[in-house]
Structure 1
Amino acid sequence: MAPADYKVKFKELKSRVGIDDVAYSLGYRLDRKAGVGRYIELVLGEGRDKRDTIIVSNRRDKASQTFFRRDGSKGDVVSFIRENLSSFNVIGLTEWQKIAKVMAQFANMPEPDYDRDRDYVRSASAPQVFDPSRYRVKELDAANIPRLFAQRGLSADTVKALAPFISLVSDRRNENFNGYNIGFPYTEAGSDKTVGYEIRGVSGYKSKAAGTNSSTAAWVADLSHGNNGLVRHVFFCESAFDAMAFFQLNRPRLGEDIALVSLGGTFSDRQVLGVMERFPNARAYDCFDNDLAGRINGLRLMALVEEIPLKITKTPEGLMVEAKGKSFPVSPDRSAYTQFEPHISVRYRMGQWQPPKDFKDWNDCLLGKRSSIKILPTKHDRDDNLAEQRASGLKI
């Protein structure tokens, strides 16, 4: 396949996949009261649970579709898929490959041939450069905590404890919203320089600052007072709010030799490896969500930390894992760790501390928001989790 063929094929993918197609699959609904013309309004959730609203242009021409929000954020189908990449069960070496796989699935077309046109993939997926001058930044005032934290169940004590790792940010280029959102600064190993933000705002608004480095940087709250060598436990979560909820729910048992990490949903290998380079004496913990994407994230984390090459394939029943010449199924209803360990030896560097089985994530657990389908832990799961925490030296 020639490079030109690959380019045409990717453009053809974009011409066949609309933002509305992706949004409907994620549970968005058409708000007919807003009108149905050149623009349509798609809403995720209802009433008090309304989590997002996007306005889509050119509804009849998928190749030309773009979206925007009233807060000023906007993009095309690629950026919309990127925002929601953790909702799709795809696996790839890079974020770009995962996005292309999602588009191929919607278009019912073959995936692009990455190996035979690497130069094009690299140029097409070249990230924006984060421009710190674009954002006004303020320190979080512990005496004037944004209400959004309380709405997520987070206490003033929790916010104050983590305030050094949280900022308030405002996008100078956003003409529709000149207020401040909550920003969780991303940093790289060996540097305190901010290279992006995980951003959260009212009405379920979430995004990342333009050009945020999600390849080698992450939100890291080092509670060892900067002595990285003292950190013994690193807790990986899918979002900063999940990490804060985990901290609040388990704080009496954690001590101060810990670091909380948000990878912002899907993650790259270098994000995880960079975090572990900061804390060479620490053990990594899978605190990801209780869903299929969370199980995949947990397996990937384990593979990176334990240096075990593995292949993960989605099946109608869940996942099929291939590692060290062995192949075995992994059910999303049970801990991936307990299903993996009987087949492949896992050393001391990996542990898990996932949300209780009837909650999707740690923030839902804090809010008491149970999943629609309750997954009960088996006796094996309970025994293994108890043994894990005892072996880690954590207080229980």
Structure 2
Amino acid sequence: MSNNELTYNDFLQRLNIQDVLIDAGYHLNKRDGLRYPSYVRLDSDGRRIRGDKFIVMPSGQCCFAAQRQEVFNVISFIKGHPHFFAEYHAGMPPDRLVNLVCNRLLNHPIADRETRIIRPKRDVKPFDMADYDIHKFNPQDRETQKKFYPYFKHRGIDLYTQYAFHRNFCLATKHREDGLRYTNLAFPLTLPNDMEKVVGLEERGRLRMDGNGSYKGKAEGSNSSRGLWIASPAKIPLAEAKHIYWFESAYDAMAYYQLRQANDKELRKAIFVSTGGTPTEKQMQGVVALTLSARQHICFDTDQAGKEFTKNLQKELYRAVRSTIEETPERKPYLDTVPDGDNLDGGEIELLPKDLLSSYGKYEAAMEEVLSMRSGGLCHPDDIQDQVDVMNGHYRQFREGLREFLGLDKAHDASFIREQPNPPHKDWNDQLLAVLKLKEALDQSQEREQQPRFHR
């Protein structure tokens, strides 16, 4: 990076969220009566578009979408609403858009980059498991287990975890035309609606001799757009699962299980899913269609990409819920105002029956009080939490009424939770390795203390 290039930290420090809202076409809502500035969009006739409002938080660096319960800063707002900015075109990388918009708002020139020419991929033969020699892990045969040691040791994944997932990994050696043989740890990819057929492999190699990482990828010809690694230690069928755990890699899924299973015995009955990298729309749709009534645990990485993957999965969950609702004449005006891929409470609230409108008003007032208490700096954390509980209680009452109005079965309402490893760890395998390292240091310290001491 050259010395005159600006970073994300520069954008966050130099730009006010109101600058970005105005650039995106939002207008200050002077008649709102809220404690903090709010911004709304206007239609072609200059009338306010209901349900599209952002409240500026006291710091001036973030805004809050009340109906979606989301907070955005300068960066996340641009990435979450790319079509509002002049620089955007279909397929543009989000980071590129942020750089263009923020540099323009700061009157900082940015050089155009050369267009990268991407060569078309050569024809690839569809994946066929018959092209591989397979070595399986047998929990009753120690000799079969030894070959897996180089693949799991550097990841900190112990034998008990390997036992739990032994049906869902193997060693795969490809038959190559040049006679060379390469073996990788392989996590079979299947289709959610046909888990008997393997359509690819998520692959991991041995740790390199210099210790600088190992190969990771997918087997040639894998159906990467639809296939996922789907595993359950208790062999629970996907359609019967009560809990689905989403990860970007099978290693992370196994690490999470190892970290949590001692305190959660029901974890064996859960379904663990790895997308093997960037989750595709078809991957997510395939699983969600069969598991809408399950609790979805979104365990993607904590980096920016993981945050984007989380938003995309949430959108698919919302779309799936929407598809179960019958559009009656009474419901249609409201449903037409809910943006595609948005939560059902993201529509124009004023189109709901009066009792629901009143219920939502109680939630929004409680939410305002939470913002005020947090920004004032004079309230005890326990008092703030009490008000948060009040706010959440009002929201639950509103949500229950909304479901009743829309004829939505509670079991089919989107239920998900975002789970993240403890900072500063980017993923679950990083956290597992840190835990093991700390345990090793404590064990060594205890050993030294227990050694006899001799005095002269």
Q: TM-score, normalised by structure 1?
A: 0.53
Q: What do residues 143-175 of structure 1 show as CA deviations (whole Å, max 9, x unaligned)?
A: 224122121010100001100011110111175
Is the CA contact 1:239–1:265 (under 8 Å) kept in the aligned structure 2? yes
Instruction: Please give the alpha-carbon distance, in whole angstroms, between the structure 1 residues aligned to 2:168 and 2:426.
Output: 25
Is 1:135 matched with 2:132? Answer: yes
> In the alignment, residue 108 of structure 1 is paired with which amino acid?
R
Give the match for residue 207 of structure 1. Answer: 217
Instruction: Please give the alpha-carbon distance, in whole angstroms, between the structure 1 residues aligned to 2:270 and 2:241.
Output: 5
Is 1:264 matched with 2:276? Answer: yes
* Percent identity for Structure 1 against Structure 2: 27
Q: What do residues 197-220 of structure 1 show as CA deviations (whole Å, max 9, x unaligned)?
A: 000111211121001111111000
The Cα shift of 1:262 comes to: 0.5
Give the match for residue 295 of structure 2. Answer: 283
Taking structure 1 as reference, are residues 324 and 90 closer, same or farther at Cα in structure 2, changes over 3 Å only?
Answer: closer
Is 1:300 matched with 2:331? Answer: no
Is 1:349 matched with 2:415? Answer: yes
Instruction: Please give the alpha-carbon distance, in whole angstroms, between the structure 2 residues aligned to 1:125 and 1:277.
Output: 33
Unpaired runs of 5+ in structure 1?
A: 1-88, 113-122, 312-322, 327-337, 371-396
> In the alignment, residue 296 of structure 1 is paired with which amino acid?
E
Q: What do residues 339-384 of structure 1 show as CA deviations (whole Å, max 9, x unaligned)?
A: xx99xx89542212211122110000000089xxxxxxxxxxxxxx
SS at match of 1:250: helix
The Cα shift of 1:225 comes to: 2.1
Taking structure 1 as reference, are residues 235 and 271 closer, same or farther at Cα in structure 2, changes over 3 Å only?
Answer: same
> In the alignment, residue 173 of structure 1 is paired with which amino acid?
R
Equivalences, count: 243
Taking structure 1 as reference, are residues 125 and 217 closer, same or farther at Cα in structure 2, changes over 3 Å only?
Answer: farther
Instruction: Please give the alpha-carbon distance, in whole angstroms, between the structure 2 residues aligned to 1:111 and 1:293.
Output: 22
Give the match for residue 159 of structure 2. Answer: 156
Taking structure 1 as reference, are residues 127 and 299 closer, same or farther at Cα in structure 2, changes over 3 Å only?
Answer: farther
Return the match for 1:225 from 235, 238, 243. 235
Is the CA contact 1:242–1:363 (under 8 Å) kept in the aligned structure 2? yes
Give the match for residue 200 of structure 2. Answer: 196
Instruction: Please give the alpha-carbon distance, in whole angstroms, between the structure 1 residues aligned to 2:91 and 2:251.
Output: 24
Q: What do residues 41-79 of structure 1 show as CA deviations (whole Å, max 9, x unaligned)?
A: xxxxxxxxxxxxxxxxxxxxxxxxxxxxxxxxxxxxxxx
> In the alignment, residue 274 of structure 1 is paired with which amino acid?
G
The Cα shift of 1:91 comes to: 12
The Cα shift of 1:293 comes to: 0.6
Unpaired runs of 5+ in structure 2?
A: 1-78, 83-89, 100-110, 209-213, 320-338, 350-387, 404-412, 437-456
The Cα shift of 1:271 comes to: 0.3
Q: What do residues 302-346 of structure 1 show as CA deviations (whole Å, max 9, x unaligned)?
A: 1111227359xxxxxxxxxxx7699xxxxxxxxxxx9xx99xx89
Instruction: Please give the alpha-carbon distance, in whole angstroms, between the structure 2 residues aligned to 1:171 and 1:226.
Output: 30
Instruction: Please give the alpha-carbon distance, in whole angstroms, between the structure 2 residues aligned to 1:209 and 1:179.
Output: 12
Is the CA contact 2:250–2:276 (under 8 Å) kept in the aligned structure 1? yes
Q: Could you say which structure has the larger radius of gyration?
A: 2
Is the CA contact 1:237–1:243 (under 8 Å) kept in the aligned structure 2? yes
> In the alignment, residue 152 of structure 2 is paired with which amino acid?
F
> In the alignment, residue 130 of structure 1 is paired with which amino acid?
F
SS at match of 2:230: strand
Instruction: Please give the alpha-carbon distance, in whole angstroms, between the structure 1 residues aligned to 2:347 and 2:154.
Output: 46
> In the alignment, residue 433 of structure 2 is paired with which amino acid?
L
Q: How does 1:1-396 map to 2 (within 5 A)?
A: 108-109=113-114, 129-142=126-139, 143=142, 144-145=145-146, 146-147=148-149, 148-173=151-176, 175=178, 177-191=180-194, 192-202=196-206, 203=208, 204-252=214-262, 253=264, 255=266, 256-307=268-319, 309=340, 347-368=413-434
